[in-house]
Amino acid sequence: MSLELFETSRLGPLELRNRFVKAATFEGRSPRGEVTDELIEFHRTMAAGGVAMTTVAYLAVSADGRTDRHCVLLGDDSAPGLRRLADAVHEQGALLAAQLGHAGPVANGRSNGAPSLAPSKGFSAMGSRLHEVSVEGLQRIIEDFARGARTAAAAGIDSLEIHMGHNYLISSFLSPKLNKRIDDYGGSLENRARLARQVAAAVRASVPSSVAVTVKLNMDDGVKGGLGLEEALEVALLLEADGHLDALELTGGSSLSNPMYLFRGDAPRKEFAKTLPVPLRLGFRIVGAKFMPVYPFEEAYFLPQAQVIAQQVSVPSILLGGVTRPATARAALDQGFSYVALGRALLMEPGIVNRWASGDEEPSGCTHCNKCMPTIYTGTRCVLTTPSR
């Protein structure tokens, strides 16, 4: 039976008012890690615009797992603000999801005042030193995920999205390129997936059954030697077999080495360079084309890869990646997906879901210039509709 875009549906224990969710896109509205009124208003606006659920990105479970010092850290200090955020979203008839993660090798160790942790020691593509996390350290991080999940659930957050993509810590363990360990967390895919499975189990066990648990999983790192679709399918099947998840959101790309694999379209190298400290700008001019290659934009560009996984797992799948028309979203539902995640389309037009629901099916006006990417440091926004702050 064909699913309808604007019918209510069940995501695990949750009832969603339609099939659209706001994807996690770092908001740049948490100076010093604070849950600000501006962050709350950002998600209240998304909820008022019609999405069934909006996702807060990115909530760190550990101080050393923040992307930088301006990342919200789950704990007693952030809980009251997260409760206000949840209340604001609920008042608009939407649900609130939160992305839980540990940045691992993507973390800015200098900003955090802590080492950047990784499966194996080395250097990131931008030259940051990576420190191999010990087994004891991994057990601490698993406990941090559990504690962070409890904090989020107690604050009224409805769904928890475990970040297993973009070469953040869990994703980096899945990557053959980044994981050179010879212990129980390295080598075979079963070993490389051990952390992912342990974290999913810990999060599920730490929250009430009324809270949904989902995963954002890389299908392809977009990096030679990294995780690819064949192994990603195996990981998805392992996670499904464990029975802890209510949905899989399928993504790709590496924040360490190839972020444009996720975004597609124009590569805003000049704008990104301006966000870097002056000493790093010259180096970026040299490596920028390699770090941010251009991938031509195609609507629903992850669909072919995502279908491979969605058709072989029974856990509901969420399609991400360049959906700009309701007709494309309907086609995704017909092909086995349960939900569609929107990012840039909502940055440009937060009310686009309400517009589509009204019968106006004109596509998003997003040009895929990707100049929204560098704005994450000053408040993520569409520069075409909100050019300055």
Cite the active site residues. 168
Phi, psi of 12 (to 5 degrees): 60, -120
Q: Hey, how many other C-beta atoms are within 10 angstroms of the C-beta on 217?
A: 27
3-class secondary structure for the chain? CCCCCCCCEEECCEEECCCEEECCCCCCCCHHHCCCHHHHHHHHHHHHCCCCEEEEEEEECCHHHCCCCCCCECCCCCHHHHHHHHHHHHHCCCEEEEEEECCHHHCCHHHHCCCEEECCCEECCCCCEEEECCHHHHHHHHHHHHHHHHHHHHCCCCEEEEEECECCHHHHHHCCCCCCCCCCCCCCHHHHCHHHHHHHHHHHHHCCCCCEEEEEEEEECCCCCCCCHHHHHHHHHHHHHHCCCCEEEEEECECCCECHHHHCECCCHHHHHCCCCHHHHHHHHHHHHHHCCCECCCCCCCHHHHHHHHCCCCCCEEECCCCCCHHHHHHHHHCCCCEEEECHHHHHCCCHHHHHHCCCCCCCCCCCCCCCHHHHHCCCCCCCCCCCC
Yes or no: say if 339 and 316 are a contact pair by the CB < 8 Å rule: yes
> What residues contact residue 80 under an 8 Å CB cut-off, 6+ apart?
35
Q: How far is Cα 286 from Cα 279, in angstroms, rounded to an integer? A: 13
Q: How far is Cα 270 from Cα 257, in angstroms, rounded to an integer? A: 17
Q: Which of 354, 341, 309, 245 is nearest to 11 (CA)?
A: 245
